[in-house]
């Protein structure tokens, strides 16, 4: 690459902004050009200065959030790559960002090297995704039904292990088989299921599996 990759960043948190700049500064092929504290500011700066290759875009910002900004930006300058860089990894944000035209979706905990690689890959016509995000996109693809279902549910949180158990439950497996598959004692599996039921407010396998699917927990 003869030319440096020119980058703009949109983020309202100046501390995180600084962290990102630092990560980028390790690499000589990257050139951090400017930043904005919200979507509107970013778009205004683009009016005078469009020679940017990649935008790293936060989602939660005042005035105009990153998803709206992405939508407008990609419509106006389609050649510019937009990579979401955020702490939020809920399905709705991911899906909205993709719909808005994002070329990648990374989480802020990403290390400098992976960020760099993601930027380069995106410029080369790929897409940047942290593995946990990739998993969620796979799940979204598997259940195309609920794309319409935008309304909020009361955010039931299951632990990772509980989700694993639930996934096995959904295959119709029994406690003992699940225990074997996960290298646990049946007692533990049963306790996990008990806890799942409490969290989901259900009283049987079927109800649990159905509720989990509704809430896209599996």
- Give least dist CB 75 to DNA, A: 16
Are the C-beta atoms of 60 and 36 separated by less than 8 Å?
no
- Give least dist CB 201 to DNA, A: 10
Q: Which does 210 bind (CB under 5 to 8 A by kind): its own copies, DNA, none?
A: its own copies
* Beta strand extents in the chain (DSSP E only): 5-10, 30-36, 54-57, 81-86, 104-107, 128-129
Does the protein bind its own copies through residue 153 (CB under 8 A)? no
Binder of its own copies out of 159, 172, 201, 214 (CB under 8 A) = 172
* Beta strand extents in 37-188 (DSSP E only): 54-57, 81-86, 104-107, 128-129
Residues from 3 through 32 that contact its own copies (CB under 8 A): none
% helix, strand, coil for the chain, step of 5: 55, 15, 35
Q: Which does 153 bind (CB under 5 to 8 A by kind): its own copies, DNA, none?
A: none
* Closest to 117 measured CA to CA, from 30, 207, 9, 211: 30
Residues interacting with its own copies, by CB under 8 A? 75, 77-79, 95, 98-99, 101-104, 118, 121-122, 124-132, 134-135, 137-138, 140-142, 144, 146-148, 160, 164, 167-174, 181-182, 202-207, 209-210
């Amino acid at each position: 690459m003869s030319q440096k990759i020119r980058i703009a960043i949109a983020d309202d948190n100046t501390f995180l902004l600084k962290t990102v700049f630092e990560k980028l500064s390790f690499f000589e092929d990257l050139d951090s050009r400017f930043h904005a504290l919200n979507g509107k500011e970013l778009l205004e700066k683009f009016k005078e200065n469009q020679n940017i290759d990649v935008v790293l875009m936060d989602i939660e910002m005042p005035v105009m959030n990153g998803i709206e900004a992405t939508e407008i930006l990609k419509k106006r300058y389609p050649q510019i790559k937009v990579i979401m860089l955020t702490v939020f990894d809920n399905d709705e944000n991911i899906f909205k960002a993709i719909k808005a035209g994002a070329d990648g979706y990374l989480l802020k905990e990403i290390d400098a090297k992976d960020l760099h690689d993601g930027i380069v890959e995106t410029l080369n016509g790929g897409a940047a995704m942290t593995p946990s995000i990739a998993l969620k996109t796979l799940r979204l693809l598997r259940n195309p039904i609920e794309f319409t279902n935008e309304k909020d549910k009361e955010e039931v949180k299951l632990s990772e292990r509980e989700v694993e158990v639930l996934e096995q439950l959904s295959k119709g497996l029994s406690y003992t088989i699940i225990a074997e598959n996960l290298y646990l004692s049946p007692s533990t599996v049963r306790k996990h299921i008990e806890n799942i039921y409490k969290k989901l407010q259900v009283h049987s396998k079927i109800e649990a599996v159905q509720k989990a699917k509704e809430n896209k927990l599996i």
